[in-house]
């Protein structure tokens, strides 16, 4: 019984505090490979890249938000840490979609 009361107490206290702590993040956009083509005689491969400027993210809390490249957004600390982990592989290197802004 005490564990349920303790959980409820922490949820009531930490829930509002978690929403108050804000982090500023900037969405950098996503550089995606659109298509590959190649020369049939020499075998040279060419890739075309596209820049994705808008992306909808679903947070672990269940919320969703649209992000536009170059814009700075204020999100709570938990969602900000989730966004800072988002990345993709580009030419063998990890590229992150978000950066923290002071």
Token pair for 10 = 């922490």
**Domain assignments of the chain as residue spans, ordered by start:** 21-101
| pTM (two decimals) | 0.66
Amino acid 8: pLDDT: 58
Residue 79 burial class via C-beta count within 10 angstroms: exposed 0-12, middle 13-18, buried 19 and up: buried
Please tell me the distance from the alpha carbon of residue 69 to that of residue 29, in angstroms, as a whole number: 5
Amino acid 74: pLDDT: 93
- Sheet strands (E) in 44-97: 45-52, 54-58, 64-68, 72-76, 87-90, 93-96
**First vs last Cα of the chain: how many Å apart?**
43
Please tell me the distance from the alpha carbon of residue 15 to that of residue 85, in angstroms, as a whole number: 22
pLDDT digits (tens, 9 = 90+) for 43-102: 787 777 788 999 999 998 888 999 999 999 999 888 999 999 999 988 788 999 999 998
């Amino acid at each position: 019984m005490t564990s349920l009361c303790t959980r409820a107490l922490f949820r009531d206290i930490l829930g509002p505090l978690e929403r108050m702590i804000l982090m500023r993040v900037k969405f950098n956009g996503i550089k995606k490979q659109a298509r590959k083509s190649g020369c049939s005689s020499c075998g040279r491969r060419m890739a075309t890249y596209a820049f994705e400027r808008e992306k909808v993210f679903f947070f672990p809390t269940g919320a969703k938000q649209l992000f536009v490249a170059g814009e700075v957004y204020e999100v709570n600390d938990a969602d900000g840490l989730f966004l800072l982990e988002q990345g993709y592989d580009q030419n063998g290197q990890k590229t992150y979609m978000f950066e923290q802004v002071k």
